[in-house]
Amino acid sequence: MKRLACAALLLTVAGCANNQAPHVRAMECNELCAQYIGMGNLQAAEDQCDLGIQFSPQYADLWVNKGVIAFNRGQDDKAKEWFIKALRLNQEQAQAYNNLGMLYMKEQGYGKAHDNFQRALRVNPDYLEARYNLALAFKALNQPEKAQKELRTLLHVKPDLADAWAQLGQINLDLGETETAIESLTKATQLDPKFTAAWMVLGNAYMEVGKPCDAKDTFSSCLEADENFPQCRNNIIIAEKKCKAQDKALDDVKGRAAGTKTPEGEYAAALQAKDKGNVGEEERAYKRCLKYDGKYVLCHYGLFELFKNRSDEKNAATACKNFLKFASETEFSNQVATCKQYVN
């Protein structure tokens, strides 16, 4: 999604600015030029583009491809010159706008990049690369909500783009929308199991919501994709330690409380039912727990998670509000943040 676009014959959206159709040989040369670029044979590509220009020097698509050749050779200034020339010949050359925008992104000229991506989309609203790049420009300009909107629009059209899901997940995480971030990043890793960066961010998201065991499994999947990925290798050690500590604490609670008619006992029974996948008994145990002690925050939060998972928004919001009444933000920082976000 982030590469420079060639102006191949089948991708052309508009003719020359002077309305003169390009010579048939120029169009053949342009198609061959684009094909050679795709194969990485830049000299053959340049030879074909230059030959095509001899037939139709006003054919903007040939200048776009010359710009792509220059970019691939590391000649950014020359590439920019050719893209601008293409736009002088044809102000509706969408690939030239997109490619020029990417050069500005590389230079950290995010405002100019944004303007060029928008111009590309005015020419062709279905230009998926330009829409993805516009989202990146909004993100760089610290306008995450606008970046989210562009990514959601893109994913409605083409929902199988792992890069777009990963970018959306990262923005969700930056905005504190951790649960939504987990959903987006999970889709990215499902679409591309080798997407190590998405696995890493997903693992960090699980750590933020207090699920170190899920984080450990996620970092493990990251290392399966790339055993030398340093962030996942470091983070899995931390997640594993926290997971073991959490499991031990949970076992202690279950051991002390299971079978007793106390809020702790009912909470332990709810967790046992949850482990077995018995949702009905889990809910009943939480409710019995709150009959014994209406301020027992873990049971309020357990009901919230249960209702949220079944999309019962009204009861989930009520459980969250009850949790927030009694929960200590110091002791339950992640859960408090999650409930505040859900209620808001």
Task: Note the maximum CA span of the chain.
Answer: 90
pLDDT(247) > 70: no
pLDDT(187) > 70: yes
| Radius of gyration, alpha carbons of the chain | 27
Mean of the pLDDT values across residues 47-62?
A: 96
Task: Write down the CATH superfamily of domain 1-138.
Answer: Tetratricopeptide repeat domain (1.25.40.10)
4-18, 122-136, 244-258, 298-312, range with the lowest pLDDT: 4-18
Query: What residue ranges do the domains of the chain occupy?
Result: 1-138, 159-246, 258-343
- Selected from 1.20.1250.20, 3.40.50.1980, 1.25.40.10, 3.40.50.2300, the CATH number assigned to the domain covering 258-343 reads 1.25.40.10
pLDDT by residue (tens digit) across 257-284? 555 578 888 888 889 888 888 888 899 9
Computed from CA positions of residues 330, 333, 335, 337, in that sequence, does the dihedral angle turn out positive or negative?
Answer: positive
pLDDT by residue (tens digit) across 125-179? 999 999 999 999 999 999 999 999 999 999 999 999 999 999 999 999 999 999 9
Cβ proximity of 267 and 296 under 8 Å: yes
Mean of the pLDDT values across residues 99-121?
A: 97
| C-alpha count within 13 angstroms, C-beta hemisphere, residue 47 | 5
- Provide the CATH topology of domain 159-246: 1.25.40
pTM for this predicted structure: 0.69
pLDDT(110) > 50: yes
Residue 23 CA, chain-centre distance (Å), reads 43
- Spatial separation of the C-alpha atoms in residues 168 and 159, rounded to whole Å: 12
- Tokens in use for 58? 């006003």
pLDDT at 275: 85
Q: Residue 120: which of 235, 283, 243, 11 has the closest Cα?
A: 11
Cβ proximity of 65 and 35 under 8 Å: no
16 confidence band (pLDDT: 50, 70, 90) = very low
Residue 85: what are its φ and ψ, rounded to 5°?
Answer: -60, -40
- Spatial separation of the C-alpha atoms in residues 307 and 317, rounded to whole Å: 9
Q: Residue 1: which of 110, 161, 122 has the closest Cα?
A: 161
- Tokens in use for 115? 């303007």
Do the domains 258-343 and 1-138 match in fold?
A: yes
pLDDT at 15: 38
